[in-house]
Amino acid sequence: MTAFPHDQALDPEKINQETAKIKWAELQRFFAAGQTIYIASELDLINTAQHIAADNKTLIEQAMTNKTIHPVTDNQAKEWLANDITTWTVVVKPWLLVQPITHKPD
């Protein structure tokens, strides 16, 4: 894991305490404002939030190229609303990072 400068905004414990499970329907105004960023399930939400907060351009650009980080699309938003999904969410101003919670079959 990459070492970060001592900045409380980058502290993984602090970020973890600020995450929340939120229904996608409750995040519509943030989506409409263009503030929601999709974080793929294969990425660690806390670690990704740290990199975004630290403005790690290399990692962010690579993830965007791989489509594991990107603004939530209209199609995603419609599908998530129709399926009443829940997301893990954390704020990295001005963004709201959202990671859909997927349940693995038993």
Query: What's the mean per-residue pLDDT of the chain?
Result: 88
pTM (2 d.p.): 0.84
User: pLDDT tens digits for 62-77?
Assistant: 999 999 999 999 999 9
The neighbouring-strand residues paired with 86 are 23
User: pLDDT tens digits for 8-39?
Assistant: 456 777 877 788 999 999 999 999 999 999 99
3 within a domain of the structure (yes/no): no
User: What's the structural domain count of the chain?
Assistant: 1
Strands 95-100 and 36-39 turn out to be parallel
Q: Which domain holds residue 34?
A: 9-100
Q: Give the pLDDT score at 9.
A: 54
105 within a domain of the structure (yes/no): no
Q: What number is the average pLDDT over the span 96-100? A: 97
Q: Give dist(CA 96, CA 102) in Å, integer.
A: 19
SS3 90: strand
Alpha helices by DSSP H, listed for 1-106, are: 12-17, 28-32, 45-53, 57-65, 74-82
18 within a domain of the structure (yes/no): yes
